[in-house]
Amino acid sequence: MLCRHCSEAPISRPRRLCWSCYYKPGVREQYPPVSKYGHRGEGNFYRDAPLPAFPTDALPGTPEKIAVLAERVHLKQSLWHPDDATLEAPMKPIPKAG
């Protein structure tokens, strides 16, 4: 079989790519894994994910934070918002306008 990208070289790497195409920047991300073991759940997608609309005040490791992460995966958003609460710095209250 020949490479899915260049159609010239024989397959030698995962995703049915040849050696040179597999290691070219940007090519590997164009082709999803073909192995049944390559898909690791709903959150395994190859693209830039948008930031969530709002940060969460749930602390890492809590059931609330896990629920927030599951919802972000379902919506194909980035898992982490820069303003999410951390163990070192819990989320600051957002001032109300008015």
Are 57 and 78 part of one and the same domain?
A: yes
Three-class SS of residue 59?
A: coil
Instruction: Give me 70's structure tokens.
Output: 């599951």
In a domain, 2, yes or no: yes
The CA-based angle 51-53-59, given to 5 degrees, is 85
Are 55 and 23 part of one and the same domain?
A: no
Digit-coded pLDDT (tens) for 34-79: 776 765 566 555 557 888 999 999 999 999 999 999 999 888 888 8
Backbone angles phi and psi of 68, in degrees to 5: -65, -45
Are 49 and 21 part of one and the same domain?
A: no
In a domain, 3, yes or no: yes
pTM for the full predicted model: 0.50
Largest separation between any pair of C-alpha atoms in the chain: 66
Q: Which residue has the tokens 């020949």?
A: 2
Are 47 and 34 part of one and the same domain?
A: no
Are 59 and 80 part of one and the same domain?
A: yes
Q: Which domain holds residue 77?
A: 43-93
High-pLDDT (> 90) share of the chain, %? 48
